[in-house]
Amino acid sequence: MTRAALILTINPGTTTTRFGLFAPDAGAVTPVTEATIEHDEKAMASFAEIADQLEFRAQAIAEFLSTIPGGVTLGAVAGRGGMLSPVPAGVIAVNDALVAFALHTPVYRHASNLGAPLAQAIARQHGIPAFIVDPVSVDELPDVARVSGFPELPRFSFVHALNIRACGRRLADGLGKPFEGLNAVVAHMGAGVSIAAIKNGRIVESSNRMENSPFSPERAGGLPIMPLIELCYSGKYTHAELTRKLYGQGGVFAYLGTKDMRQVEARIAGGDAQAALVWEAMIYQFRKAIGAMAAVLDFQSDGIILTGGMAHSPCVVEALTAGCRALAPVHVYPGSHESEALAAGAARVMAGVETALNWPVVPGGERIAC
């Protein structure tokens, strides 16, 4: 029996590389297998630059593929897209220029910058196309949302677009309406957090996790700006130290020394008052952000979606549902649905339901059939 060519998904995280194999079927996908490789934190810290991890992670993928009984025939590879320049939502075909941008001139340092290079490396070995889908630099903000109050620092979009759009599609399907007609608030609550407003299928506003965002297990989120300026110039920290403190060691970690919310909840159950205060403050900030996104949608949303790792927590879900259900019905889609969303994007292109954008993506730019 010949086996259908599968779609390989690659999702590089700070200390993990997640893989999936999916069978495409007329623009949809069925999961075949998924795996997460946990990389040693010290080993990852030994790489000076994210780009230096390429070989190491490529080796991990080769090992994953070698474990598939009977081998695997691939038809396409879809990688998580990184901190690119602003792009529309959708699928982008990986080419050399995109790989060079992601490796050498990304807007910010982030493991997702390796999604395109890794996808290309595997795709080349198999002679198949490579894509990225809904990268974190998806920017659908209207002009009014870009005005920050200081012309040199306009607001911009970095958002968990892949999971947020996948959850939006799922809600739209459940409601029997097209995604393009969906209005919803999505709270992606992972190690980093994005709270976003989807209006007619477009992410028209989001908390931008290091701009005006709630804090999260490891990100400081938005901070009091005048004291932050003082701290920057105080000489207390170097640029790199302060960036690390706010970005990977901020939020819950800065207060409690852990990024694992299960541990935090266990400490609260054991009577730890500081843990309880920090947890409550984070939920309080989530509620404020969800309310702000509901306001962006004129309080006319089809639903509020709670998703990401923290949506596994009954305490988080209960607290947010109680605080937000007056705004719209609350739907809980725990975990991230990124692998399936990556595969579905590639499958839509392979089935001809959608065309891929070509990099560099310019307004009204070229789309290519693959």
Ligand X SMILES: CCCC(=O)OP(=O)(O)O
Contact (CB, 8 A) for 172 and 165: no
**CA gap 207, 328 in Å, rounded:** 19
User: Residue number with the shortest CB distance to ligand X?
Assistant: 192
Q: Is 221 in the site for ligand ADP (CB under 6 A)?
A: no
The first and second tokens of residue 99, run together, are 């790989």
Q: How far is CA 191 from CA 249, 276, 343, in A?
A: 11, 18, 23
Q: Is 251 in the site for ligand ADP (CB under 6 A)?
A: no
Which of 115/309 has CB closer to ligand ADP?
Answer: 309
**CA gap 237, 234 in Å, rounded:** 8
**CA gap 279, 138 in Å, rounded:** 30
Please report how close the Cβ of residue 290 comes to ligand X at its closest, in angstroms: 18
Binding residues for ligand X, per CB under 6 A?
112, 136, 158-160, 190-192, 209, 219
Please report how close the Cβ of residue 161 comes to ligand ADP at its closest, in angstroms: 14
Count of H-run helices and E-run strands, the chain? 13, 13
**CA gap 252, 14 in Å, rounded:** 17
Binding span for ligand ADP by CB under 6 A among 41-49, 125-133, 205-213, 309-317: 309-317
Q: Which does 261 bind (CB under 5 to 8 A by kind): ligand ADP, ligand X, none?
A: ligand ADP
Which of 176/257 has CB closer to ligand ADP?
Answer: 257
Q: What angle do CA 308, 309, 310 make, to 5 degrees?
A: 95
Q: Is 318 in the site for ligand ADP (CB under 6 A)?
A: no
Q: Is 217 in the site for ligand ADP (CB under 6 A)?
A: yes
x/- mask, ligand ADP, residues 262-281, rule CB under 6 A, reads x--x----------------
Which residue among 186, 336, 340, 357 contacts ligand ADP (CB under 6 A)?
336
Contact (CB, 8 A) for 122 and 8: yes
76 forms bridges with which residues in the sheet?
Answer: 7
For ligand ADP, the binding residues (CB under 6 A) are 13, 190-192, 217, 259-262, 265, 308-310, 312-313, 336
